[in-house]
Structure 1
Amino acid sequence: MGLLAFVAIFISDDAPSYKSFSDGSTLSVSADTLQHQAMVEKYAQEYGISEYVSILLAIIEVESGGRLPDVMQSSESLGLPPNTLDTEASIQQGVRYFADLLQSAKRYGVDDDTVIQAYNYGGGFIGYVANRGKQYSFKLAEDFAKERANGIKVTYSNPIAVQQNGGWRYRYGNMFYVQLVRQYFTTPIQFDNELVQLVMNEALKYEGWRYVFGGDNPTTSFDCSGLTQWSYRKADIHLPRTAQQQYDATEHIPLAQAKAGDLVFFHSTYDAGTYVTHVGIYLGNNQMYNAGDPIGYDDLTSPYWQKHLIGAGRIKR
């Protein structure tokens, strides 16, 4: 769809929202896009592609940021002018169109990235890839755009290609479409310990969220001990609420003996009325995941953390 048109890229000023899916991936898109999740799920189920809900939401983020009525920019797949459909009609048609592309891909034996690119290029791209190894690559997307652009009249105001994202995009669709969609996915880091993996699968949902003093759940966001308490609870480990209380409830060990999944504690990071004022999840290799501002990773060898470091704590089970 939009075969001869540029794809509009919407960048939200709002903080991203994080949503985890059954494949272990986490989707980071705007709240405007996530508000359409229920409707996407409804039509994905109707057309038998429920496992692709996360990809469909990422397509919405690329196409409209969730803000236009025609959120999936699917009017053109019906031969209509751009932005003709209302929101529900756009989602219904966009999901149906993607389902049709998947059926074609199954017949031809091509991969899912080919389908994602075909959402932008049209179904002809599926046969193109099928005849060239059946595996999507950026070069195939680029070559397809070049070949299809040959039939377009080129003028000074309508060049055959324009520079974008460090490369060139041709007037036939957007060769970067797979990269634009895939950029909204992150895959949680993997741990050998199943319990640690459960904890981190939960904690990583909130990467990039802002620190909120007193926050202890996804509705409020989190402070440091609120994040650890919430995340470990998903592995059926019930920690007390504050950093000091969590320190008191653990077996104290030097950082050099810490393993992934242990807690790491700090003092005097602010005036809390207690000695222990901050806690994070130890990941190994002097890295921790914690509710800083924003929530995310930190290097424990930095001068700031070294100044305040107490040590690690192993949770008593």
Structure 2
Amino acid sequence: MKLLLARLAFSKDGRKLLWVILVPVFLLILVVVMLFSEQTSQPPGSYTVGSQLSSAVLQYEGAVQAALSGYGLEEHIALVLAIMMQESGGTASMDIMQSSESIGLAPNTITDPMYSIEVGVAHFNKVLEKMQKSEVDLDTAIQSYNYGLGYIDFIAKNGGIHSEELAQTFSQQEAEKLGWASYGDPAYVEHVKRYVGTMRDGQVIDVANASADFQVVYETMQQFDGYPYQFGGMNPKTSFDCSGLMVWAFREIGANLPRTAQEQYDISKKITADELQPGDFIFFTGTYNAGRPVTHIGMYVGNGKMFDANGGGIGFSNLNDRYWQEHLYGYGRIVDFVGGEEG
């Protein structure tokens, strides 16, 4: 075979024949690679209905499912319900999906919840269609429900992957362009995703009822020991800030935390110092001027220590230090860990 290919390569007609043989082979390999990458990426319907949805939202689950089925998007039921929860909680407005503006009307013009669902799902479908065409990630599509389709174009030109930093940049650009004080919600993705659960090894896990091995989160955090602190950072490439570290580590057990320390405090089950166990959160106030009470978070690891990202870097901090005692705000539990032994 090698001899035949060599002979073909050294003649004009042979080179043409060689291309005829090799091109289909290369195309076949390319198709196989593309199919494999699609199968190994996170399926868009991997979210499950979160336990923190209000009864006011859950009463519309059947109507949302029916609307989604018209577009073949039934797998997105959990995500659309989470969007509704973020937009209105099911009660803040009769336009429960805040979809009036998507058809050029003033906010809350729609006064029929069923029509709001119809229009909202139609807008969601447009967002997903453009997401696929522009080859951006699902988080970009979620943010675009709040920002509009222009955000997808923006992300497509800036790497194709949503981040809160890019969302903030887009918000500032649009606000300046329109002469507004602000534009949309830069943290919309995290605000929506706090209302969904995820699948891990066939089990539903969300921030309200997750149960997992403390060691998984602990070891995930430990690998970043010594990394520098990075305000706004939430992945190993940029390093982390305090809440970004928690978001990254807790995703290892399928728990989707909201983005900021304040939001993580808000959704946590409040506990006392006597109830504190490894894996619980410790919240602090006044560590910088954030315009909100809770400004810092650490994860308790036992023996009076926490693991956190602060101005000195990522690592262990002694809770008995005067600074932390002076800024202590409270304690919270997200996950009922198993295997969290003090040591």
Q: TM-score, normalised by structure 2?
A: 0.46
Per residue, is there more helix in 1 or in 2? Answer: 2
- TM-score of the superposition, structure 1-length normalised? 0.49
